[in-house]
Structure 1
Amino acid sequence: MSFWTAIVAIVAICTIGEAIRSRRDSKHDAAADEKLDEISSKLDRLDGDLRARVEVLERIVTDRKDDLKSRFDDLRRAS
């Protein structure tokens, strides 16, 4: 094997190795992005649920007591 053949072989092996590594990393990145999107959607749903609960609590705290009592009475009668 000549000197130049060895250099070409080394460059070819390094190039193929880098291509394989790049392809493997891109598959992991796609899976990570998919997982991140799933987590983001769960957080959005939880955020909406928490906002709704806080709105209910704010309404309960700020309503007048007689209005609140009448609502509880209505709920008791309805069930």
Structure 2
Amino acid sequence: MVWDGEQTLFWNDSWMDEIQLKTQFARLFQLCLDKDITVADMHRLGWDVGDNGWQWRKALFAWEEELWRECCAVLTNVEL
């Protein structure tokens, strides 16, 4: 259970459907700058497309942007 997300790692913990986001969205994990961000911090910064929670080490290709939108869609109904 994620509770408030303060102790849960966004990419590394299995808090969504029992699978780590770094596994489900491996390419995005490779490109993200903060691999140890918590769920709470990511939520505060915003996890919709274009929000500040997403910081990449390079500009995304079109297919990576599509993957990003897919990841954001998965997060749409998450409430802390």
TM bucket normalised to smaller:
under 0.3
- TM-score normalised by the chain length of structure 2: 0.23
Larger radius of gyration: 1
- TM-score normalised by the chain length of structure 1: 0.23
Q: Which is bigger in relative contact order (C-alpha 8 A, separation at least 6)?
A: 2
